[in-house]
Amino acid sequence: MAVVAERAFTSRSTLQRIEAGDNRVSIGIYAGVLQALGLLEGLSLIADIRNDRVGQALASADLPRHVHLKRTGSSGDD
């Protein structure tokens, strides 16, 4: 734990907070720990909408059911 904390430029107590799921730890600290563990590539998966089924469902629920297109002013009587 001391080695990971040193490589992540953080303290052992912060690592313990991460392990406990403390949501007050900044994303930068998480990134540093992932880097120290060689897992930083996985960070991009967190924000990938393809992995967020709940987010997709919520976004789809906000879409209108029907779309009505407005016609432009040309009626062909020019």
Instruction: Write the pLDDT tens digit of every residue in 7-60.
Output: 999 999 999 999 999 999 999 999 999 999 999 988 888 778 888 888 888 888
Across 2-9, average pLDDT = 94
For position 74, what pLDDT does the model report?
A: 63
Tell me how far the alpha carbon of residue 59 is from its chain's centroid: 15
pLDDT digits (tens, 9 = 90+) for 65-75: 777 788 876 65
Q: Which residue has the higher pLDDT, 76 or 10?
A: 10
Q: How far apart are CA 15 and CA 69, in angstroms?
A: 54
Cβ-based neighbour number of residue 32 at 10 Å: 19
Q: Residue 36 in contact with residue 30, Cβ under 8 Å? A: no
**pTM of this prediction?**
0.57
